[in-house]
């Protein structure tokens, strides 16, 4: 639980320190790549405690924190995800990516 809170924390470690500890444990900047809104970044840095597993399975990815864009690729407009009432409606909306196919 401590490691999960650490790597999901909205803290900013010095870049060199974050990079160094990511050789051993999952650092906040390392895991934030996993929360990027687009592939292949969402399919990387799954680890929760030890970063060795992402390195071993080839899912380790480095990305500068300035390049990380959080979100879901279907609702990128601020007006769509800036308040609770909009978020609650998302599961009930027709997908933007679905075509109007008639069966």
Q: Per-residue pLDDT tens, the chain, 103 aa: give them.
A: 888 778 778 788 888 998 898 888 888 888 888 888 888 888 888 888 888 898 999 989 888 878 887 776 777 777 776 677 877 887 887 766 554 444 4
The C-alpha atoms of residue 36 and residue 38 are separated, in whole angstroms, by 6
Burial class (CB in 10 A: 0-12, 13-18, 19+), 94: exposed
Per-residue DSSP letter, 80? H
- Token representation of residue 97: 């990516």
**Distance (Å, whole) CA 63 – CA 50:** 18
pTM for the whole structure: 0.63
| Coil/strand/helix, residue 70 | strand
């Amino acid at each position: 639980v401590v490691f999960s809170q650490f790597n999901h924390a909205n803290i900013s470690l010095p870049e060199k320190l974050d990079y160094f500890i990511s050789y051993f444990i999952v650092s906040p900047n390392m895991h934030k790549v996993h929360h990027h809104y687009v592939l292949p970044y969402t399919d990387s840095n799954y680890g929760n405690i030890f970063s060795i597993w992402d390195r071993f399975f080839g899912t380790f990815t480095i990305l500068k924190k300035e390049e990380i864009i959080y979100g879901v690729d279907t609702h990128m407009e601020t007006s769509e995800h800036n308040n609770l009432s909009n978020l609650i409606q998302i599961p009930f909306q027709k997908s933007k990516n679905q075509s109007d196919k008639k069966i």
